[in-house]
Structures are given as C-alpha cells and as structure tokens.
Amino acid sequence: MRRRCFREARFGMSDKIGPVFYEHRAEHPFLGQRLAADSGISDLTVHAIEEETRKLLASAFEDAKRLIGAHRFAFDDLVKLLLVQETVERSDLEKTLGSAMREVARA
C-alpha cells in the first residue's frame, strides 16, 4: 500500500491525476534547508493529489476492516498467540491464520 500511495502522489497513477510525474520535496527547515520550495505544482494539483491519496487510504482501511471482520476468529487466535509469544514465525502465522493469510496477501 505504501508503494501505491507513493505512486499515486508522485507519479499520478490514478484516473483523476493521470500518468504524470510530480516532484514533491519534503525539506526540513531546521537543517538549514528552505521551508518551502517552489515546486511548480499548483495548489489545485496538490489538493487533487491529496484527495486521491485520501481515497486510496480510505479504500485500504475499508478493505482491512472487511478482511478482519470476515476472518475475525483467525485474527483473535493470532492475538492470543502474540500475547503468549512476542515473535511469530511465518509457519506459525500460516497455521494460525490459515486461509485468512492467503486472502490478506492477495489484498
């Protein structure tokens, strides 16, 4: 999802933004750099990028809620396992989550 957000914001890979590259620099003002750089992107375009990213995150959140709801018992078992042992190996995770893990991996 992080890669999707990056692609959405920087490369404009959504239907609304289109296939365009947007340079966006986050500079730290306390390290001797400028607070804001003139990036050549209008406020309207920045707003559109933020709105598309917001939609992407809202969609991912809804997907996560749906997956957890659909596999509630498997995730409850995972919580119990994590309360007993702090680290879970992949094999234990696959055993605990079963088909839920495969569906989550596809999402």
Of 17, 21, 20, 19, nearest to 47 by C-alpha is: 17
19 in Cβ contact with 13 (< 8 Å): yes
pLDDT at position 6: 46
- Give per-residue pLDDT as tens, 5-48: 544 455 556 777 777 766 655 555 565 555 555 556 778 888 88
- Tokens standing for residue 15: 């239907």
Give, as one character, the DSSP assignment of residue 23: -
Backbone angles phi and psi of 15, in degrees to 5:
-60, -40
Helix (H) or strand (E) holding 51: helix 43-70
Of 49-53, 60-64, 99-103, which one has max mean pLDDT? 60-64
pLDDT at position 62: 94
- Tokens standing for residue 39: 């990036």
Domain ranges of the chain: 1-61, 71-107
Average the pLDDT over 74-81 and give the result.
90
Alpha-carbon distance of 2 to 10, in angstroms, equals: 12
Residue 94 has pLDDT above 80, yes or no: yes
- Mention every residue, 6+ apart, whose C-beta is less than 8 A from residue 81: 88, 92, 96
